[in-house]
């Protein structure tokens, strides 16, 4: 009998790169994500028309013929779960995705968590949500060698409808922060995809660890901006919200140097078209911006920004959703 699993992508409202130093983040799970329809099998045999290709390997993650595409994430998840003692039960089925690749919305984390959830379910090997998130994070490191933090996978498992998640990435303490219903989440993709393993992501982590003053200043001030954003959301101080997001983008542009001219342009357009708040989201070096917009005008806002930006941009009107689960 086929079983169906869902794992959402995430948008980080604010708190960029702070998870590399155990800081504060404020992501929200999205209603865009990865869906897996599969049955138990002797081996892992997953296909996808959305991601293009197949993943065929042993239940413990060995035996993958081609480790250059998305199948390497599947193999890495299977290997991490085998190390935790998961019985060698395979999985056969189809993966579909509504997440744009390389947009900074954690398509890889959604894939990792979704596959991990499905593999655990068919093997009757339950893991606590954050234990699954940690395994998926280790799988990301194993698959592509990127020293990413825990935020993406944690947001994927902790998501809650109409809420952001205030997460301390050092302690994993977390609480839900309701999002004002009058605001919509609009994500605008610059059309420039990036892969973290090909960007300056690892370099920024090394610079932080080495004590670079400019990089550390960004993290310190960004932690303050996360708390300021939570307060502004709770008090519905939308003027303050816009100021904090703008300051966060400027810090990423000047102190952390991870934005691009295209992302800077999109943020300018977003504010010009009436966004309450807007900033780069994700790892930068391409990808997308996130804007909080009055819900009644969200569609018109997206059209106006894309019209001003020109060819290549794409917009997604989203809402905060529940986390990974079996449907």
Strand partners, 177: 164
Segment holding 69, helix H or strand E: none
Three-class DSSP category at 285: coil
List the domain range (segments joined by +) for residue 88: 3-164
Co-location of 210 and 151 in the same domain: no
Q: Decide if 169 is inside a domain.
A: no
DSSP 8-state assignment for residue 320: B
- Structure tokens that stand for 141 in this block: 């490191």
- Structure tokens that stand for 247 in this block: 């300051």
Structural domain ending residue among the three candidates 134, 164, 194: 164
221 contacts 249 by C-beta, under 8 angstroms: no
Q: Taking Cα atoms as reference points, which of 185, 180, 129, 157 lies closest to residue 9?
A: 157
Distance CA 256, CA 66 (A): 35
Number of domains in the chain: 2
59 contacts 50 by C-beta, under 8 angstroms: no
Co-location of 11 and 159 in the same domain: yes
Co-location of 11 and 155 in the same domain: yes
Q: Taking Cα atoms as reference points, which of 308, 247, 325 lies closest to residue 274?
A: 308
3-state helix, strand, coil in the chain (%, to 5): 40, 25, 30
* CATH code: domain of residue 283: 3.30.70.890
- Among candidate residues 152, 212, 255, 296, the one labeled active-site is 152
Co-location of 114 and 243 in the same domain: no
Three-class DSSP category at 254: helix
Q: Taking Cα atoms as reference points, which of 114, 97, 22, 63 lies closest to residue 324?
A: 114
Write the DSSP string, 132-195.
Answer: HHHHHHHHHHHHH-----SHHHHHHHH--TTEEEEEETTT--EEEEEPPTTEEEEEEE-S----
Co-location of 123 and 10 in the same domain: yes
pTM of the model: 0.94
Co-location of 304 and 193 in the same domain: yes
111 contacts 95 by C-beta, under 8 angstroms: yes
Co-location of 193 and 150 in the same domain: no
Q: Decide if 173 is inside a domain.
A: no
Angle at 197 between CA 7 and CA 23, to 5 degrees: 65
- Structure tokens that stand for 170 in this block: 């050092």
Note the pLDDT of residue 61.
97
* CATH code: domain of residue 28: 3.30.230.10
Distance CA 257, CA 200 (A): 10
- From first to last of its 327 residues, the chain has per-residue pLDDT tens of 899 999 999 999 999 999 989 999 999 999 999 999 999 999 999 999 998 889 999 999 999 987 778 999 999 999 999 999 999 999 999 999 999 887 778 999 999 999 999 999 999 999 999 999 999 999 999 998 877 889 999 999 999 999 999 999 999 999 999 999 999 999 999 999 865 555 677 889 899 999 999 999 999 999 999 999 999 999 999 999 999 999 999 999 999 999 999 999 999 999 999 999 999 998 899 999 999 999 999 999 999 999 999 999 999 999 999 999 999
Q: Is 152 a catalytic residue?
A: yes
Q: Taking Cα atoms as reference points, which of 198, 196, 179, 175 lies closest to residue 282?
A: 196
Phi, psi of 60 (to 5 degrees): -95, 10
Co-location of 23 and 151 in the same domain: yes
């Amino acid at each position: 009998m086929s079983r169906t699993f869902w794992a959402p992508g995430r948008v980080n409202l604010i708190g960029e790169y702070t998870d590399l130093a155990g800081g504060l983040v404020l992501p929200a799970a999205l209603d865009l994500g990865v869906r897996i329809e599969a049955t138990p099998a002797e081996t892992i045999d997953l296909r996808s028309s959305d991601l293009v290709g197949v993943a065929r390997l042993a239940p413990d993650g060995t035996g993958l013929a081609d480790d250059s595409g998305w199948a390497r994430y599947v193999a890495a998840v299977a290997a991490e779960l085998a190390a935790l003692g998961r019985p060698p039960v395979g999985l056969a089925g189809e993966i579909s995705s509504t997440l744009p690749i390389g947009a900074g919305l954690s398509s890889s984390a959604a894939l990792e968590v979704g596959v991990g959830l499905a593999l655990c379910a068919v093997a009757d090997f339950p893991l606590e949500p954050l234990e699954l998130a940690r395994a998926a994070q280790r799988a990301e490191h194993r698959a592509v060698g990127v020293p990413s933090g825990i935020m993406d996978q944690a947001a994927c498992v902790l998501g809650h409808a109409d809420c952001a998640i205030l997460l301390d990435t050092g302690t994993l303490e977390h609480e839900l922060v309701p999002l004002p219903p009058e605001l919509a989440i609009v994500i605008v993709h610059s059309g420039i995809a990036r892969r973290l393993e090909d960007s300056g992501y690892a370099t920024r982590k090394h610079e932080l660890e080495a004590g670079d003053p400019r990089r550390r200043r960004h993290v310190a001030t960004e932690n303050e901006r996360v708390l300021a954003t939570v307060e502004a959301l709770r008090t519905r101080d939308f003027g303050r919200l816009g100021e904090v997001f703008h300051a966060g983008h400027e810090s990423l542009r000047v102190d952390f140097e991870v934005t691009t001219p295209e992302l800077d342009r999109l943020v300018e357009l977003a504010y010009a078209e009436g966004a309450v708040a807007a900033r780069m989201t994700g790892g930068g070096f391409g990808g997308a911006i996130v804007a909080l917009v009055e819900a009644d005008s969200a569609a018109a806002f997206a059209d106006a920004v894309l019209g001003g930006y020109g060819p290549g941009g794409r917009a997604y009107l989203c809402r905060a959703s529940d986390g990974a689960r079996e449907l």
